[in-house]
Amino acid sequence: MNNKTKKLLTISLAPTILKDGKYWSYSPYVNEMDVWFKYADEQRILAPFSYPEDVLIKPFSTKTIKRYYIPFFAFNSIFNTLKTLLIMPLVVFQMIRAMAWADHIHLRCPANVSLIACFVQILFPWKNKSTKYAGNWDPNSNQPWSYRLQQAILRNTFLTRNMKVLVYGDWPGETSNVYPFISATYKDEERVPFKAKDYTEELVFVFAGMLVPGKRPLLTIQFIEALNNKGISARLELFGDGPLRPELETYILEHKLADCITMHGNQDKMVVKSALLGAHFNILLSKSEGWPKAVAEGMFYGCIPVATSVSCVSWMLGHGIRGIVVDAELDSAVNHFLEVFHSDYLDAIAEASLQWSQQYTFDRLEGDIKAVLEGTFESQV
């Protein structure tokens, strides 16, 4: 029996831009949506056709995509809010039109566009639906009111019918339509067997992420600096770029850290993979995360993650079984790291980390997406 979805609609904030005869969008989003589109006969996207900032984009591989146009809108100022109110009838009309066409409605949350879509989808209780909630689902975290509102509508099984809400992490007590869902980068064929590492030599840490305040790259650099000051030889391979780069470069220069901190900028996936294969730890001291991709990628190759307890991180790390969960305060983070480092458990932590992460490959992700569209998906965890 062929359960392939005939008409798949995706509603997203990520812009869909026509360029060189192809549709382009934000690269990580394209990588996943190419899989969703693979299991539909017809594909349409409702999204802004412009975006107020530069993003790393690539073309969709699917050739038959069509799109519904809506302008970019925001609520971050009085002017933008007034502008949004003026264009809202057009946005709602386009959403109703698009949802009426679709066999399966797929929302990408949280965002301003998906906030409106959460209300409009109520008008289509008989349609098959799914939501990929890419933000922090933690009910106890501090989040914008618009995110809270989207979560409230999505988990309400009276307002939101025939919907599978796919979230990062396993949150006890959730409604029956909320399912843990884990993203992935590497394929089955990229798995490697566990190999114990020598923690008596210079410790190599990998940071992979944007150089923005939310990722706390300066705190990461200071963490490595503090380890060296305490007599622990440590080196940081820092991958990524962003507005904080000049500030970080100045700090490295002024504190004479060039011998233990290397800034690589944005690099290809295979370059980062090579660094992870040779590293002891990967580190991410974020303020907030949806799915901490960099943590999962490091775990895949037996790097012990050092991370703050945000979003689903503590759950990913088995509350300390598969990684080192630290506070965002420097002295506390360093002291807890050293406590674990001087234990006899590093190999066990690294092996548990690798075994957990290697369950969730891109091949499995593709199978789970197919199951969502066929209506047969069950929890991943």
For residues 12 and 51, membership in a common domain is answered with: yes
For residues 61 and 99, membership in a common domain is answered with: yes
CA dihedral angle for residue 32, residue 34, residue 35, residue 39, rounded to 10 degrees: 150
For residues 124 and 193, membership in a common domain is answered with: no
For residues 204 and 104, membership in a common domain is answered with: no
Spell out the SS3 assignment of 119-133.
HHHHHCCCCEEEEEE
CATH number for the domain that contains residue 241: 3.40.50.2000
User: What is the predicted pLDDT for the residue at 128?
Assistant: 96
CA proximity to 305, closest of 257, 265, 270, 337 = 337
For residues 179 and 323, membership in a common domain is answered with: no
Mean pLDDT of the chain: 93
pLDDT surpassing 80 at residue 54: no
Burial class (CB in 10 A: 0-12, 13-18, 19+), 297: buried
**Residues 6+ positions from 279 with CB-CB distance below 8 Å:** 204, 205, 206, 237, 298, 301, 303
Phi, psi of 9, rounded to the nearest 5 degrees: -110, 130
For residues 56 and 126, membership in a common domain is answered with: yes
- E-strand spans in the chain? 5-11, 17-19, 22-26, 40-48, 57-59, 66-70, 104-109, 128-133, 163-167, 178-180, 203-208, 234-239, 261-265, 281-284, 304-308, 324-326
For residues 120 and 193, membership in a common domain is answered with: no
For residues 325 and 242, membership in a common domain is answered with: yes
For residues 135 and 147, membership in a common domain is answered with: yes
∠ CA 341-346-347, nearest 5°, is 160
In a domain, 379, yes or no: no
CATH number for the domain that contains residue 11: 3.40.50
In a domain, 66, yes or no: yes
For residues 203 and 158, membership in a common domain is answered with: no
In a domain, 195, yes or no: yes
* C-alpha distance across the termini of the chain, in Å: 27
> pLDDT tens digits for 131-188?
999 999 988 888 899 999 999 999 999 999 999 999 998 898 899 999 999 889 899 9
Mean pLDDT of 57-81: 88
Structure tokens at 114: 């998906």
> Domain span at residue 52?
5-184+361-374
In three-state secondary structure terms, 111 is: coil
pLDDT surpassing 60 at residue 2: no
> pLDDT tens digits for 323-364?
999 999 999 999 999 999 999 999 999 999 999 999 999 999
In a domain, 380, yes or no: no
> pLDDT tens digits for 256-297?
999 999 999 989 889 999 999 999 999 999 988 888 889 999
11-15, 127-131, 287-291: least confidently modelled range = 287-291
